[in-house]
A = this chain, B = another copy of it.
Amino acid sequence: MSCHIMKDVNTYESDSDGLLYDPRVRAAMTQFTDTDNDLLTFEAGAAVRTANLAVERMRAHGSQGRGASAGALDLLIRLNGSEHGISIGELARTAGVSSRNATGLVDTLEHDGLVRRVPDPKDRRSVLAEITPAGRAWMKAFRKPSQLAMRAMFHGFAPEELVVLRDLCLRLAANQHRLADRLRQTGQQP
């Protein structure tokens, strides 16, 4: 391992319990927090962001710029698992983005021929997005590489650890949803 490679390796360190932390983040956050627990929350938040960037980067590499941004891919996977079309609004709600954004993501997928729009017979205001045969073929082609990539990303993780990571992340998201709801109710929106 040459010095050039050493220089690029992340300098995460292990704490007394053998768990990773980023000393640079810790140094920066320590001055922004009052208690040890506050520091832990900031570090965890920063770590979530770091992990997300890592997943995004692996995704970007794996799809080779094939119009498969994270958001669009999520929609495509969702549509692939449905035997009928899904409305733009429903896609937006379940993805937790604005309908305008869902419109844009579907635009992208439609432009690439992976998805098409069809009228919703039950509501003339609404449009259903459905996956095309080309979209299903795309999903099929990327199934195995995607699995290999995720296996490599989570190399060294026990199944229980994957489950715990999922739970912790979803609890965080649930907390944020509750907070947003509360703020909306008390009219504290800016």
Listed in ascending order, the chain A residues whose CB lies under 8 Å from chain B are 5, 8-10, 12, 15, 17, 19-22, 24, 27-34, 36-38, 40-58, 61, 64-65, 70, 74, 77-78, 80-81, 94, 96, 139, 143, 146-147, 150-157, 159, 161-177, 179-181, 183, 185, 190
Contacts and interface: CB of A to CB of B under 8 A. Distances in A.
A170 B53 contact: no
A156 B177 contact: no
Contact of A20 (B15, B74, B139, B166): B166
A190 B42 CA distance: 36
A167 B20 contact: yes
A162 B58 contact: no
Q: How many copies does the complex hold?
A: 2
Contact of A172 (B32, B74, B154): B154
Contact of A47 (B17, B53, B150, B169): B169
